[in-house]
A and B are shown apart, each in its own frame.
Chain A
Amino acid sequence: MERPSLATNRPYYEVIRDLLAANIDGGRLPVGTRLITAAVADRLGVSRPPVKRALARLEREGRLRYSRKTGYVVGAARDGVEPVRLNLHALDLDLSGPLSPPSPQATWERIFQTVESDILNCMPFGTYQISEAGLGDHFSVSRTVIRDVLSRMQDRALISKDRSSHWIAGPLSARMLDDAHAVSRLLEPSALSAAIPHLDAAQLTQMRERVRQALDNRTAVSQPTIDVLETDLHTRCLEPVRNRRLADAARLSQLSLVVNRLFGTYIGVHDETEMLMEHRLVLDHVILGDGAGTETALRYHLDADHQRARARLKVLSVFSAPEIAPYLIRVH
């Protein structure tokens, strides 16, 4: 699934302003059209505050005029066109670009995955405090959005509040790995098995081929290559799952992948033959359309990966200061 390309640091109202400006300049929003905030927000499928700011901006730019009686109207006053209220849904607006698909993600969703990965990448190394203000500055988003993101992370047991009400992440404990693994081995095999009918055969063959090449080349496999193989099996293969609750829950419990990737990055990739053979076994079952076999093979792989991650987490514990995001403050 393509994520809307909104993961920029630009304020949302600017995105809306650009969209409206393009439609005005291209004539799709005719001169004289009254733009009422609520109606525009409804047409675009977004909330009102950014629309309000975008309209004010467009007025300053001269694309709109404003009067207390009519509100915002497309075009300058000298155009002399009478304001008219049109059904915006009836207009053929060009809403392609950053706002498509039609219902854009809530703002928190745009930054959730980035914040999630920043936090996961620091957790094996100690305890970190998350600065709400720092997060807001870093992503140019409001406190409301930040709280949305953080409370969702709290729901997923990734962060918690300490006694002085600071947001705290880490340290990643063996128990968190155990707990995540217990969930993972229940969910991910069923999710993958459910995905089998929807997976593209050509894509699967490519994945299988990538594993074969890595196995041939076992001493010289790089971390980026491993990343691709892990993404193939643990992310891309789960994408066609219709049950998003299942797929999302499975994805959120893949903590061992984080540990293994950090280990590969900080210590270096060693012999990953076993992991590669496990991947090959799972993919072979998927390619044959064997659901039960897929589940068994994936469960075996998850168990083995969990043991590797546990051992590797101990090694990571001797490190102290990896590169961390600017909004994270090391506590212990």
Chain B
Amino acid sequence: MGRSEILPPPIQAQARQDLDVDIDFELIDGIEGLQRAVTRPDSFDVYHQWHTIDLIWTARAVQAIDLDRLTHGAEIKAMASAGSGRALATVFDKLFLQKDGKLGHTPSNRISMLPSIHGVDAFGYLRSIRESQDQQSESWGWLLDARWHGRAAITAHPVLGIIEAALAVEAAEGVVFEDIGNLSIEEIDHVADLLIRKKKIGHFKGAWINYEDAARLMQRGGVVVQSMLWPALTRLKGQGLPVCIATPREGSRGWHADLCISAAADGDVLEAAYAYLNWWHGGWPSACLARQGYYATFPDRVRRHLAPEEWAYWYEGRPAETPLRDPFGQVCIAPGETREGGAHMERMSTVRVWNTFMDEHTYLVRRWKEFLDA
């Protein structure tokens, strides 16, 4: 069970080919996936979690993963204390099962999830609007700029959307939120009120559920600036649209997605789940996703599955030497193009805030729904 951008058809096909098990992939983009994970652990075997580990661990929907059963388990412990592990603190902070049954940073032999991929997201825009922005450096404020009235869009997802909206409000209004990754009730109200007002006057063309909808909004909907996931960008570039993803001066929204094993899995199913995890850790799937802009948490395992020019473009931020293809085999990057934001660690260092379920998530969801319904 996972989101559509993490499990594109080529990964599903390769998994079925490489693994001697019959796998059903269920793609759920909304909050329903999490609902199912929490209430019915018996309805999935492996869950590609995205910032939900707090919740699913609290709900005991997933079981601890035994490092001894992972082919390269030792790498995970080593990474936790290495530099890149610290850079991805949000991945490793609640990774290891501690003696008291809680999750923590101190390495142990059991982990809550297998770290797999991460990245940094920002808004995307048509290159043509750059001139209208007076060549200013890219800012989240563009999302709310009145010049793009009726031609802006935002993700409908509350967890991602509130963070992007808060960054936009900060930039547009010159306010500073105390902790943008954990907004207070008043701050949520501030952001929600402004979004609702903007929506009522017709600022937003739409709110999208998945990357394919996002791509359509720009392709046919007349949207010029909007929340954007990388697979939507590679799709649009492949279709020849002059579009790019910003490296906003206010910083970007970081994310990671990892693999969890259902609390209900045992016996043969558990064996198969470990086989699937090992397959992911082996690097092929993360290499496939590199072609839509995603980084592997263990990049060395991925490099061997990428052509040198792919590695140079996606990870090192160097100009493409040849046309590069997306996970579906379609050319999306023309020779000479350079990835926005530069190399892997350079781009990750722009993370201002990580995706998270905030303390006031219940409140946030209510206000967000009000925005979507407005």
A-side residues, CB < 8 A to B, are: 124-127, 170-175, 266-267, 270-271, 310-320, 332
Contacts and interface: CB of A to CB of B under 8 A. Distances in A.
B253 to A, nearest CB: 20
A166 to B, nearest CB: 15
A266 B362 contact: no
B55 A173 contact: no
Given A318-B31, A318-B34, A172 B39 contact: no
A318 B38 contact: yes
Given A267-B59, A311-B54, A315-B59, A126 B362 contact: yes
Interface string B175-188: 00000000011000
A172 B362 contact: yes
The main secondary structure of chain B at its interface with chain A is helix
B109 to A, nearest CB: 20
Contact of A174 (B39, B359, B373): B359
Contact of B357 (A125, A271, A314): A314
Interface string B150-189: 0000000000000000000000000000000000110000
Given A175-B185, A267-B39, A318 B363 contact: no
Interface of B: 31, 34-35, 38-39, 54-55, 58-60, 101, 184-185, 357, 359-363, 365-367, 369-370, 373
A174 B183 CA distance: 11
Contacts of B184: 175
Given A173-B185, A332-B369, A315 B362 contact: no
Among A175, A312, A317, A319, the one with the most B-chain Cβ atoms within 10 Å of its Cβ is A317
A182 to B, nearest CB: 15
A332 B370 contact: yes
Contacts of B58: 311-312, 314-315
12 contacts: A126-B366, A172-B362, A174-B362, A267-B38, A267-B60, A314-B54, A315-B38, A315-B55, A316-B362, A318-B38, A319-B39, A332-B370
Contacts of A316: 362
Given A267-B60, A270-B60, A319-B35, 8 more contacts: A126-B366, A127-B366, A170-B366, A173-B185, A266-B39, A314-B362, A317-B361, A318-B34
Nearest to B101: A271
A124 B39 contact: no
Among A127, A310, A315, the one with the most B-chain Cβ atoms within 10 Å of its Cβ is A315
Contacts of B60: 267, 270
A172 B31 CA distance: 19
A174 B360 contact: yes
Nearest to B370: A332
Contacts of B359: 174, 310, 314
A171 B184 CA distance: 14
Nearest to A173: B363
Contacts of B35: 318-320
Given A318-B31, A318-B55, A173 B360 contact: yes
A115 B79 CA distance: 53
